[in-house]
Structure 1
Amino acid sequence: MADDTSTQATAVWPIAKFYFQVQWDSQVMCFQEVSGLDVETQDIDYRAGAPSNDSSPTFSAIKMPGLKKQSNVTMKKGLFKLDNRFWDWFNQIKLNTTKRLPITISLLDEAGGTTMVWTLSHAWPTKITATNLDSDGNEVAIESIEIAHEGISMDTP
């Protein structure tokens, strides 16, 4: 008998990526796009100096995990009149000191419930890109901010 999918679990389908929210310190902000939520471990080539029973018979190096490295996170949003939050935060950078904030990015399901949460610890702005100006265009003005952070964690509530 063929499966009519009436009893199919909701966990079978992938989560859509277009419904998300960003909590910036204590306020929720709307963004068009968030990218750079990645982490990697650098690999180290290692070869023992003296032959032993554990060393490779082919005299080649082995790979070992090294330091973790996170990318900067880029967020893009529409430009609104009198909304200077990016610039206000960026202008607080003074001689190696700045206000560092926790930033939480939540992927939501169709009902608005949280499915996955990425948290950036001690985040601060490294770059702001204002919109490009084009007299022939008819697009919405988009600004972006690049965020450096001291670590990213992912949780599934």
Structure 2
Amino acid sequence: MAERTDPYRNYRFRVEIASIQVAAFASATIPDESSDPIEYREGTDPFTRKLSGYPKVGSLTLKRGITTSMELYEWWQIIRQTGTGVPNARRNISIILVDDAGNDAARWDLVGAWPSKYQAGDLDGKGNDVLIETLEVAVENIKRTQ
């Protein structure tokens, strides 16, 4: 009888961003990957063929409670003020899924990432929720390495 392998749970993970010291997140949405089909018809073929187009990578969305750490906001300010062509603008990010025993179970490495949108969150005088900041990050390439 084959040994049962349960899927990993989605609530234990960490995010490593090059040169960012404090970066604990409540949620991280791993970017999707896709390739648009290109329809091609040759000569007198009665049907079209489908070829693969250029691969595309979506955006990474990171959410966390606002703290005294300004590192993510300062990264956004570098992009906002100078663009992505300056040193330290684009960074590599790793998202690591952790199993129940605390071991690294899966890893996605994101290359050439830079913040494309920052949102500080919504304030509510009648609420008692944590103020959540959201950082949307454009990604050039993603690879699952584990």
**TM-score if structure 2 supplies the norm length?**
0.89
Match of 2:78 in 1: 92
CA contact (8 A) 2:22 2:71 kept: no
Give 1:96 shift.
4.7
Aligned counterparts of 1:112 and 1:96: Cα–Cα separation in 2? 36
CA contact (8 A) 1:86 1:128 kept: no
Name the CA shift for 1:28/1:22 in 2 (closer, same or farther; >3 Å): farther
Aligned counterparts of 2:91 and 2:11: Cα–Cα separation in 1? 24
Aligned counterparts of 1:128 and 1:95: Cα–Cα separation in 2? 15
Instruction: Specify the structure having the higher radius of gyration (Cα).
Output: 1
**Residues paired across the two proteins, number:** 141
SS for the counterpart of 2:72 is helix
Runs of 4+ residues deviating >3 angstroms: none
Of 43, 47, 60, 1:60 maps to 47
Aligned counterparts of 2:22 and 2:64: Cα–Cα separation in 1? 13
Query: 1:50-129 residue pairs with structure 2 within 5 A?
Result: 50-51=43-44, 55=45, 59-80=46-67, 82-93=68-79, 94-98=82-86, 99-129=89-119
Of 21, 32, 35, 1:38 maps to 32
SS for the counterpart of 1:103 is strand
Match of 1:146 in 2: 136
Give 1:8 shift.
6.9
**TM-score if structure 1 supplies the norm length?**
0.83
Of 7, 13, 18, 1:14 maps to 7
Give 1:97 shift.
2.3
Q: CA RMSD in A?
A: 1.7
- Identical pairs, percent: 31
- Gaps of at least 5 residues in structure 1 are 1-6
Name the CA shift for 1:68/1:116 in 2 (closer, same or farther; >3 Å): same
